[in-house]
Amino acid sequence: MESSLPETTFDYIIAGQGLAGSLLSYYLEMAGKTALVIDPGLFPTSSRIAAGIVHPVTGRRIVKSWRADELIPFAEQAYRLLEQKFRKTFYFNRPILEIFHSVNHMNDWLARSGEDSMQHYTGERIESNGIAGINMPLGGMIVRGGGHLLIVSSLKPCGLAWQKSTACWRKLLIII
Ligand SMILES: Cc1cc2nc3c(=O)[nH]c(=O)nc-3n(C[C@H](O)[C@H](O)[C@H](O)COP(=O)(O)OP(=O)(O)OC[C@H]3O[C@@H](n4cnc5c(N)ncnc54)[C@H](O)[C@@H]3O)c2cc1C
In the chain, domain spans? 1-50+153-176, 53-149
The better pLDDT of the pair 125, 58 is held by 125
Q: How confident is the model at residue 172 (pLDDT cuts 50, 70, 90)?
A: low
Of 176, 170, 175, nearest in space to 21 by CA: 170
pLDDT at residue 1 in the model? 44
Ligand 1 center to residue 111 CA distance, Å? 33
Share of the chain above pLDDT 70, in %: 88
Give the mutation target among 1, 47, 98 for probing the ligand 1 site: most ligand atoms within 8 A of CB.
47
Report the distance separating Cα 167 and Cα 176, nearest Å: 21
Give the mutation target among 17, 46, 67 for probing the ligand 1 site: most ligand atoms within 8 A of CB.
46
Ligand 1 center to residue 80 CA distance, Å? 21
- CB 52 within 8 Å of CB 146: no
Q: How confident is the model at residue 176 (pLDDT cuts 50, 70, 90)?
A: very low
CATH architecture of the domain 1-50+153-176 equals 3-Layer(bba) Sandwich (3.50)
Ligand 1 center to residue 164 CA distance, Å? 23
Q: Could you report the per-residue pLDDT of 12-56, keeping only the tens digit for each?
A: 889 888 999 989 988 998 899 888 888 888 888 999 899 999 999
Q: Which of 94-103, 116-125, 139-148, 153-162 has the lowest mean pLDDT?
A: 153-162
- CB 149 within 8 Å of CB 54: yes
**Which residue owns the Cα nearest ligand 1 atom 42?**
174
Q: Could you report the per-residue pLDDT of 114-140, keeping only the tens digit for each?
A: 899 999 999 999 999 999 999 999 999
- CB 131 within 8 Å of CB 114: no
Ligand 1 center to residue 69 CA distance, Å? 23
Q: What is the mean predicted confidence (pLDDT) over 69-75?
A: 96
Ligand 1, CB cutoff 6 Å, lining residues: 15-21, 38-40, 42, 45-47, 49-53, 173-174, 176
pLDDT at residue 173 in the model? 57
Q: What is the pTM of this model?
A: 0.85
**Residue 101: CA count within 13 A, CB half-sphere:** 2
What ligand 1 atom has the least distance to the C-alpha of 41?
Answer: 47
Ligand 1 center to residue 156 CA distance, Å? 14
